[in-house]
Structure 1
Amino acid sequence: MSRFRSIAVAVIAAAGIGFASAAHADTGSIRFSVYKAAFFIGGAGGEGTLTFHGRNYPISIGGISGGLAFGASKTYFRGTVRHIRRARDVTGVYGAAGGGGALGRGAQVIVMTNDKGAQLELTGRQVGLQVNADLSGMSIGLKK
């Protein structure tokens, strides 16, 4: 019986550690602008700022896309980054499938997650001429 009790205590302690680490994850705000150009295959680049625990961290953005995509645009994104413990958790590769377009001005909403579990919830204001139905990837890095 004491062996069973020891195993039960170990399982509960392990579960508590898992819940505690999830509870310590935090939220920050993010804003950046991205220039994008595409003719079937596209590229994107930009920069912005992550605000986390009252500090601003400059970030760089890079990306590629493939599919039905034509045009050029600039998008201003702002939103929330969830499930991070430190600023560098926002770094990594994010993937998305989507579609949309802009002639002059347009809007975008996107939710993406990286391999560290950081989740971006973004809204964007797009300017330019762009039509797309594609798969895309975006990489975020902290500038030094």
Structure 2
Amino acid sequence: MLKLALRLIVLPIFAVTFSSSSFAQATGHVQVKFVKAALLVGGGGGSGVLTLRGRHYPFIVSGFSLGVAAGASTSWLEGSASGIRQASDFAGSYTAVGAGGAFVGGAGGINLRNENGVVLNLKGPKAGLEFAANVSGLTISLK
């Protein structure tokens, strides 16, 4: 009888502990290819994959820049997405303020945040000819 009583007390504690951990924030791994062209106002798009808790979530990304910008480039970015409670938090509109450039093969990086509190920290090589000092925005949609 004592063993049964202990089981009835201990099992609900484990159930609450493990079920609440599924709502904890996680950090995912992001890989994206982004192609951009600009002359004052720029635009671009691409696709990528978010890896979160062992699952892969393909996504589409589109973006814009406004400010001093000229040229064209292709970026292969990789990094982290933190502050994710569930995969759908990753989708949304991201904004950043930054300055950077690439000349026929440089490195670039960007930090962005969306309305769900997800923070992207991406970096990687660029190919092309581009100079930019602008406000950028990205929209990510899960496929």
Task: Kindly provide the amino acid, as one letter, of the partner of residue 120 in structure 2.
Answer: L
Deviates more, 1:125-134 or 1:107-116: 107-116
Provide the C-alpha distance between the structure 2 equivalents of 1:108 and 1:139, rounded to a whole number of angstroms.
Answer: 19
Q: How does 1:83-94 map to 2 (within 5 A)?
A: 83-94=83-94
Q: Aligned pair count? A: 123
Rg comparison, structure with higher value: 2
Deviation of 1:78 (Å) = 0.4
Q: Normalised by the size of structure 2, how large is the TM-score?
A: 0.82
Provide the C-alpha distance between the structure 2 equivalents of 1:97 and 1:88, rounded to a whole number of angstroms.
Answer: 24
* Identity across matched positions, percent: 42
Q: Normalised by the size of structure 1, how large is the TM-score?
A: 0.81
Task: Kindly provide the amino acid, as one letter, of the partner of residue 133 in structure 1.
Answer: A
Deviation of 1:126 (Å) = 0.7
Task: Kindly provide the amino acid, as one letter, of the partner of residue 128 in structure 1.
Answer: G
Provide the C-alpha distance between the structure 2 equivalents of 1:74 and 1:85, rounded to a whole number of angstroms.
Answer: 30
Partner of 1:39: 39
Deviation of 1:97 (Å) = 1.4
Provide the C-alpha distance between the structure 2 equivalents of 1:45 and 1:86, rounded to a whole number of angstroms.
Answer: 24
Q: How does 1:4-15 map to 2 (within 5 A)?
A: none
Q: How does 1:9-88 map to 2 (within 5 A)?
A: 24-88=24-88
Deviation of 1:106 (Å) = 1.0
Structure 1 segments unaligned to the other structure (5+ residues): 1-19
Task: Kindly provide the amino acid, as one letter, of the partner of residue 73 in structure 1.
Answer: S
Provide the C-alpha distance between the structure 1 equivalents of 2:58 and 2:127, rounded to a whole number of angstroms.
Answer: 23
Deviation of 1:110 (Å) = 1.8
Are residue 113 (structure 1) and residue 113 (structure 2) matched? yes
Are residue 130 (structure 1) and residue 130 (structure 2) matched? yes
Provide the C-alpha distance between the structure 1 equivalents of 2:59 and 2:126, rounded to a whole number of angstroms.
Answer: 20
Task: Kindly provide the amino acid, as one letter, of the partner of residue 101 in structure 2.
Answer: G
Task: Kindly provide the amino acid, as one letter, of the partner of residue 53 in structure 1.
Answer: R
Contact 2:102 2:108 (8 Å CA) reproduced: no
Structure 2 segments unaligned to the other structure (5+ residues): 1-19
